[in-house]
Amino acid sequence: MPVRVRAKPPGEFIRDHMVDVGGMDYPQSIFNAYKLYLKTQGLKDGLTRATMSHYIYLANRIGLIEFDHAESPSRWDGLENGFEVPDGYKRERRPFAPSPRHYYRIVAPTDDRWIRLEASYREGIGLEVGPMAPRPPIRPPAAEEAPPPPKKAPPVKKAPPKAKVARKPKAVKAPLPTPEEKVQPYEETVGLIVATLAELEAIPSEETVVEVESRILDLGEAVVAAAGKARGTERTMLSNIVSRSTRALDEMTLLRSSVDRVLASKTPTDRERNMAALRAAIRVVTEELTTLQK
């Protein structure tokens, strides 16, 4: 997300909002509060719902918040297709609608990692992170200036007729790129990650797993920044890529453990059995990267 001069970044806002509401809230409520906050700072369309889910995911993975409970929205209670949340319910990673609200509880409100969620997650998995640029102070919204008084139009003077000059033909403007053409570079990056996953199946190694996770993080960060400036169809397509990369990151633990088991195999039988599990894990990550969410 681009650096904001007049507003808090998502990580700081999530922390402050959850502290203000008593330490617990659900993602849609946090997203609505952040949109209202940006509007009061004179900013519009600064964050998508998929991007907010990405930041909630990062905060959950590094232990700043944790899942507390699920609650069925009251607007579905009593409907023919409604449902009740059973006792002992555990958070579903991709529930289908209608689904219960997932409430998260803040665990570390004073942790400095809130300021750079993306960088903190990278450091947590062993990736290098550059130094943090100095942050400018938050400026209040500029006050609206009163419009200047209207000026009296000067008297119209008739100019002498001008000699006719041959006009140069107008240059033909190149057509603007379509939303699909703008998003194509990110989809090509997805294709490169899928190709790397195929290499992992041929030669299992921990270095390749780290490379895959790093590329997915880079993709998510770049698309989040682009989505903040996009509109309409382009923004919808970019939000979908953010959602896909977040779901793929959720499967990296399974992929890493599958590679570790293959490398630790002592017999050909063990290796073949563990390779079957690795191929299944690779297939899951590939499907998350390439499949549109229903």
Residues 111 and 207 reside in one and the same domain:
no
Instruction: Taking residues 231-252, report their average pLDDT.
Output: 88
Residue 212 sits in the same domain as residue 285: yes
Mean pLDDT of 91-117: 75
Residues 284 and 93 sit within 8 Å (Cβ to Cβ): no
183 and 282 within one domain: yes
Within a domain: 49: yes
Q: Is residue 161 part of a domain?
A: no
Q: What is the mean pLDDT of the chain?
A: 80
Which residue among 59, 94, 124 closes a domain?
124
Looking up residue 203, the CATH number of its domain turns out to be 1.20.120
Per-residue confidence at 85, pLDDT binned at 50, 70, 90? low
The CATH code of the domain that includes 26 is 1.10.10
Q: What is the pLDDT of residues 8-36, one digit of tens each?
A: 888 888 999 999 989 899 888 998 888 88
Residue 5 lies in a domain: no
31-37: list long-range contacts, CB under 8 Å, 24+ apart: 34/10, 37/7, 37/8, 37/13
In DSSP terms, 105 is beta-bridged to 24, 66
Which one has a higher pLDDT value, 95 or 265? Answer: 265
For the record, the structure tokens of 223 come out as 């698309």
On whether residue 272 sits in a domain, the answer given is: yes
What's the pLDDT at 150?
A: 78
State the total domains in the chain.
2
Cβ atoms of residues 2 and 225 within 8 Å: yes
* Any domain includes 19: yes
Q: Answer yes or no: do 112 and 16 share one domain.
A: yes
Q: Which range of residues forms the domain containing residue 83?
A: 10-124
- On whether residue 164 sits in a domain, the answer given is no
Do 198 and 111 have their domain in common? no
Q: Which strands sit side by side in the sheet containing 65-71, from one edge to the other?
A: 24-25, 101-106, 65-71
Is 248 domain-assigned?
yes
Q: pTM of the full predicted structure?
A: 0.59
Secondary structure of 136-176 as H, E, C letters? CCCCCCCCCCCCCCCCCCCCCCCCCCCCCCCCCCCCCCCCC
- Tell me: do 206 and 279 sit in the same domain: yes
Burial tier of 23 (Cβ tally within 10 Å: 0-12, 13-18, 19+): middle
- pLDDT confidence tier of residue 276, bands split at 50, 70 and 90: very high
**Which of 243, 231, 224 shows the shortest CA–CA distance to 53?**
243
Model confidence at 96: pLDDT above 80? no
Residue 153 lies in a domain: no
